[in-house]
């Protein structure tokens, strides 16, 4: 499968999982079943919110934008500041800073994470060495790090570089080592899958890296729990909840990996990823990034792709990542992604 197909699948898959999970984000499993039937929410057409996406997709797009506008931690910080404005303003300002910030649909506030908001409200601070508490929200390990980090795995970095750069950028908002290392692990996983590695060996390769990192243990334990539960039997919501609820970074990653391992196709994986009592839109988004990278855009449910909000923008950003980082051609991109000030 061609790399572009995987990049497009990874970003649009994330949006699908986000949109499927958002209507049930704050519902317990019994409430979801009471509302949608014994199998839970199984079709985006039944979700009732017009395919809306949330902070997970918004921030993923701004991660990609930060990479396209310089890629240094300072550039990611500036990109997340532009996302922050989308959560504070009613719509794009005239002369918005870049093409992405001019997209009207991004100006919706749908339960954004507190650490993400407070983290980017502060000035840029360089990351701490891995294993130490980061400088911003040092005790936070919410899943807001993981759910935005797929683009680090989609720009042709090797898994170690993807891990490093995602974990550094995660420290812009979350300082708990598990919070930022889980994001790094996720980016490494995406990098491996996007390069053609099947999911299970990719998880094993990431576990090897986590085992070698100071404070990598919590994330490694969560991933091993996902593998163990996946080996126990067919997928179910009860099994998902034995893996975790996804509010915290390592559980979000583990639930997404579990669903991607057990679901027989992208649709089944996404349904598993959102039907539980936890953070359904984030586990859905992260699972969607994984299955999209695995199966490509054509492996995603076509009827859901038609429904999801922002589809054209998400696919444009995917193509722009490929153009800039795989084809190495920026000539058509500077209009949409003016380089950061110090990089200009």
Residue with the CB atom nearest Mg ion in the bound state: 54
- How far apart are the C-alpha atoms of 119 and 2, rounded to whole Å? 36
> Using CB under 5 A, which of the segments 49-57, 65-73, 152-160, 294-302 binds Mg ion?
49-57
Q: Please, what is the minimum distance in Å from the beta carbon of residue 58 to Mg ion? A: 8
Which candidate, 342, 290, 323, 327, places its Cα nearest to that of 68?
A: 323
Which lies closer to Mg ion via its Cβ, residue 52 or residue 54?
54
Q: Please, what is the minimum distance in Å from the beta carbon of residue 329 to Mg ion? A: 33
Which candidate, 212, 125, 105, 204, places its Cα nearest to that of 172?
A: 125
Which lies closer to Mg ion via its Cβ, residue 5 or residue 56?
56
Q: Contact between 281 and Mg ion (CB under 5 A)?
A: yes
Which lies closer to Mg ion via its Cβ, residue 26 or residue 93?
26
> Using CB under 5 A, which of the segments 56-64, 72-80, 219-227, 261-269 binds Mg ion?
56-64
Q: Contact between 54 and Mg ion (CB under 5 A)?
A: yes
Q: Please, what is the minimum distance in Å from the beta carbon of residue 113 to Mg ion? A: 7
DSSP 196: T
> Using CB under 5 A, which of the segments 41-49, 173-181, 213-221, 275-283 binds Mg ion?
275-283
Q: Contact between 309 and Mg ion (CB under 5 A)?
A: no
Yes or no: say if 275 and 40 are a contact pair by the CB < 8 Å rule. yes
Give the list of residues 6+ apart from residue 106 with CB closer than 8 angstroms, or none.
58, 61, 83, 86, 100, 310
- How far apart are the C-alpha atoms of 281 and 256, rounded to whole Å? 11
**Cα-Cα-Cα-Cα dihedral sign, residues 193, 202, 246, 26:** positive
Which lies closer to Mg ion via its Cβ, residue 54 or residue 149?
54
Which lies closer to Mg ion via its Cβ, residue 229 or residue 286?
286
Residues found in the chain: 344
- How far apart are the C-alpha atoms of 152 and 183, rounded to whole Å? 10
Yes or no: say if 211 and 187 are a contact pair by the CB < 8 Å rule. no
Give the list of residues 6+ apart from residue 123 with CB closer than 8 angstroms, or none.
none
Q: Please, what is the minimum distance in Å from the beta carbon of residue 317 to Mg ion? A: 18
- How far apart are the C-alpha atoms of 254 and 251, rounded to whole Å? 5
> Using CB under 5 A, which of the segments 40-48, 189-197, 260-268, 280-288 binds Mg ion?
280-288
Residue 62 tokens, joined: 């701004």
Which lies closer to Mg ion via its Cβ, residue 23 or residue 235?
23
> Using CB under 5 A, which of the segments 51-59, 158-166, 217-225, 316-324 binds Mg ion?
51-59
Q: Please, what is the minimum distance in Å from the beta carbon of residue 41 to Mg ion? A: 15
> Using CB under 5 A, which of the segments 124-132, 184-192, 194-202, 273-281 binds Mg ion?
273-281
- How far apart are the C-alpha atoms of 203 and 254, rounded to whole Å? 10
Q: Please, what is the minimum distance in Å from the beta carbon of residue 285 to Mg ion? A: 7
Which lies closer to Mg ion via its Cβ, residue 157 or residue 182?
182
Residues that bind Mg ion (rule: CB under 5 A) add up to a total of: 4
List residues near Mg ion by CB under 5 A: 54-56, 281
């Amino acid at each position: 499968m061609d790399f572009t197909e995987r990049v497009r699948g990874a970003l649009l898959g994330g949006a699908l999982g986000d949109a499927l999970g958002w209507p049930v984000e704050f519902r317990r499993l019994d409430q979801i079943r009471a509302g949608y039937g014994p199998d839970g929410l199984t079709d985006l057409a039944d979700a009732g919110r017009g395919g809306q996406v949330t902070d997970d997709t918004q921030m993923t797009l701004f991660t990609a934008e930060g990479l396209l506008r310089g890629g240094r931690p300072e550039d990611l910080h500036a990109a997340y500041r532009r996302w922050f404005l989308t959560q504070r303003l009613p719509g794009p300002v005239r002369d918005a800073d870049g093409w992405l910030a001019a997209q009207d649909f991004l100006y919706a506030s749908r339960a954004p994470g507190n650490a993400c908001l407070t983290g980017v409200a502060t000035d840029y601070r360089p990351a701490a060495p891995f294993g130490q508490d980061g400088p911003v929200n040092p005790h936070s390990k919410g899943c807001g790090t993981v759910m935005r980090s797929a683009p680090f795995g989609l720009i042709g970095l090797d898994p170690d570089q993807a891990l490093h750069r995602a974990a550094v950028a995660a420290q812009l908002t979350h300082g708990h080592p598990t919070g930022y290392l889980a994001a790094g692990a996720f980016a490494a996983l995406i990098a491996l899958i996007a390069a053609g590695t099947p999911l299970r060996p990719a998880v094993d390769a990431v576990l090897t890296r986590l085992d070698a990192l100071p404070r990598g243990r919590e994330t490694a334990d969560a991933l091993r729990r996902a593998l163990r539960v996946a080996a126990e039997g067919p997928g179910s919501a009860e099994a998902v909840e034995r893996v975790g609820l996804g509010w915290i970074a390592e559980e979000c990653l583990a639930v997404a990996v579990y669903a991607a391992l057990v679901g027989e196709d992208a649709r089944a994986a996404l349904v598993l990823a959102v039907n539980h009592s936890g953070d359904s839109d984030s586990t859905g988004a992260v699972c969607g990034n994984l299955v999209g990278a695995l199966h490509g855009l054509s492996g995603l449910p076509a009827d859901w792709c038609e429904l999801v909000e922002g589809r054209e923008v998400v696919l444009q950003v995917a193509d722009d990542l490929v153009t800039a980082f795989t084809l190495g051609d920026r000539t058509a991109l500077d209009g949409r992604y003016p380089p950061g000030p110090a990089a200009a």
